Amino acid sequence: MTVQNKIYSSLAKETQICARCGYCRSVCPVYRSVGWESASPRGKLSLARQIFALKDQEKMSDEYVHRVSQCTLCGACAQACSTDIDLRRMYLDLRERIAKTGRAPKGYSTLGANLKQHKNITTFDNKERLDWAENADDPERLQPRAGADVCYFVGCVSSFFPQAQENALSVAEIFNAADVDYTSLGGEEWCCGFPFLGSGLVDDANGFMKHNVERIKAMKIHTLVASCPSCRHVWLHDYAPFLEDYQLAIYHTTEYFARLIQEGKLKLAEMEAKIAYHDPCDLGRNGGIFDVPRNIIAAIPGVQLVELEHNRMQALCCGGGGNLQSVDAKLAGDIAAMRVEEIKKTGAEIVVSACQQCEQMLSAAVRKAGLKVRVLDISQLILEALG
Q: Are residues 19 and 56 in the same domain?
A: yes
CATH (domain of 52): 1.10.1060.10
Q: Tell me the C-alpha distance between 103 and 115, whole Å.
A: 19
Q: Are residues 119 and 233 in the same domain?
A: yes
Query: pLDDT exceeding 90 applies to what percent of the chain?
Result: 87
pLDDT of 195 strictly over 70: yes
Q: Are residues 112 and 254 in the same domain?
A: yes
Q: Are residues 112 and 255 in the same domain?
A: yes
Q: Are residues 181 and 249 in the same domain?
A: yes
3-state secondary structure of 249: strand
3-state secondary structure of 252: strand
Query: What residues make up the domain containing 334?
Result: 267-385
Q: Are residues 97 and 155 in the same domain?
A: no
pLDDT of 276 strictly over 90: yes
pLDDT in tens, 242-271: 999 999 999 999 999 999 999 999 999 999
pLDDT of 59 strictly over 80: no
Question: Which of 82, 104, 126 lies at the terminal end of a domain, its last residue?
Answer: 104
Question: Which of 50, 74, 104 lies at the terminal end of a domain, its last residue?
Answer: 104
Q: In this predicted structure, what is the pLDDT of residue 185?
A: 98
Q: Are residues 37 and 175 in the same domain?
A: no
Query: pLDDT exceeding 70 applies to what percent of the chain?
Result: 98
Q: Are residues 75 and 55 in the same domain?
A: yes
Provide mean pLDDT across the span 323-336: 97
CATH (domain of 345): 3.40.50
Q: What is the pTM of this model?
A: 0.94
Q: In this predicted structure, what is the pLDDT of residue 256?
A: 98
Q: Are residues 113 and 245 in the same domain?
A: yes
pLDDT of 1 strictly over 90: no
Q: What pairs with residue 182 in β-bridges?
A: 150
Q: Tell me the C-alpha distance between 385 and 303, whole Å.
A: 10
Which of 60-64, 242-246, 334-338 comes out lowest in average pLDDT? 60-64
pLDDT in tens, 113-131: 999 999 999 999 999 999 9
Question: Which of 240, 259, 278 lies at the terminal end of a domain, its last residue?
Answer: 259
pLDDT in tens, 131-145: 999 999 899 999 999
Q: Are residues 14 and 77 in the same domain?
A: yes
E strands present in 248-348: 249-252, 273-277, 303-307
**What's the N-to-C CA distance of the chain in angstroms?**
38
H or E element that contains 87 = helix 87-101
Number of independent structural domains in the chain: 3
Q: Are residues 100 and 113 in the same domain?
A: no
Q: In this predicted structure, what is the pLDDT of residue 245?
A: 94
Smallest CA-to-CA distance from 98 within 60, 55, 63, 49 is with 60
Confidence label for 19 from pLDDT (cuts 50, 70 and 90): confident
Provide mean pLDDT across the span 331-338: 98
Q: Are residues 132 and 228 in the same domain?
A: yes
